[in-house]
Amino acid sequence: MDQLRARVFDPTEFPDTESYIWFLRNNVVRTTGLDFPLPEGDVEQQARMMFSQLAKVGALTILED
């Protein structure tokens, strides 16, 4: 998630990974109408949930080197 944030956005736009995850979540909710909670746990748990939700709505493509 840190790599994605660093490659796509100006680091000053999202100062940390958690703020980036919340930005993604809000966009998914806004565009799909499907609300989902993020776990209260650490950033890794939130990232896993975010990837899971993106996959469910068909919005996740994993690119490998």
Q: How many residues does the chain have?
A: 65
As a whole number of angstroms, the distance between CA 47 and CA 52 comes to: 8
Q: Is the pTM above the cut of 0.75?
A: no
As a whole number of angstroms, the distance between CA 10 and CA 61 comes to: 22
List, for residues 16-59, the tens digit of each pLDDT value.
888 888 988 999 899 889 898 899 889 999 999 988 888 888 88
